[in-house]
Amino acid sequence: MTGSGLEIERKWLLAEPPTEADLAALGAQPIRIEQVYLRPTPSAPVRRIRRSVRGDRTECTYTEKAALAGIVREERERTIDPGEYAQLLAEADADRRPIRKTRHVFPYAGNTLELDVFEQPPGLVLLEIEFDREDAPEPALPPQLRVAREVTTDAAYYNVNLARWGFAPPG
């Protein structure tokens, strides 16, 4: 793998999607994402491929993840070409559906925020922030985003599980 390292990420469930005006005010840039989980292997229990489209630019990646402790995961990732992406689709995990979402990326209070609006299930909106260390200070979140609660350690909100179980918004 070319990109290998730790992923330290916190995640929040939003009560509702932000408005287009709110996203524009935050300077958010949209990225369309299709994420497909592959059948696990003994050496890589969580494998996925992702196609990201930003404007007229498409990028494909292959990723392996493994939980280490708390909110820390080991992540190995490499860029792949569209042909390899298409070939790897043959290894898709039949128990998981593809995840399709629009990710809005923007800087805020010294962090890069990633706000994911999922196509399925409708109404699911998650905000993610990656950190350099697990004990990073509590981040400031934009006031125009209506946060319902933090879901960092709630396995129901891990993408790998959303692909398997789906999601029903609270309420």
State the pLDDT at residue 171: 40
pLDDT tens for the 171 residues of the chain, in order: 455 688 999 999 999 999 999 999 999 999 999 999 999 998 888 999 999 999 999 999 999 998 888 889 899 999 999 999 999 999 999 999 999 999 999 999 999 999 999 998 888 999 999 999 999 999 999 999 999 999 999 999 999 999 987 655 444
Does 171 map to a domain?
no
- Find the angle CA(73)-CA(62)-CA(8) to the nearest 5 degrees: 20
Q: Which two three-digit tokens encode residue 170?
A: 């609270």
Does 80 map to a domain?
yes
* Pairing of the two strands 125-130 and 29-38: unpaired
Task: Please tell me the total count of domains within the chain.
Answer: 1
- Its domain, for residue 127, covers 3-165
CATH number of the domain where residue 25 is located: 2.40.320.10
State the pLDDT at residue 108: 97
State the pLDDT at residue 165: 73
List strand residue ranges (DSSP E) for the chain, in order: 3-14, 29-38, 46-54, 57-69, 72-80, 99-108, 111-118, 125-130, 147-150
State the pLDDT at residue 19: 95
Does 140 map to a domain?
yes
Taking the whole predicted model, whether its pTM rises above 0.85 is answered as yes
Residue 81 host element (H or E) = none
Does 12 map to a domain?
yes
In this structure, how many other beta carbons lie within 10 angstroms of the beta carbon of residue 141?
A: 17
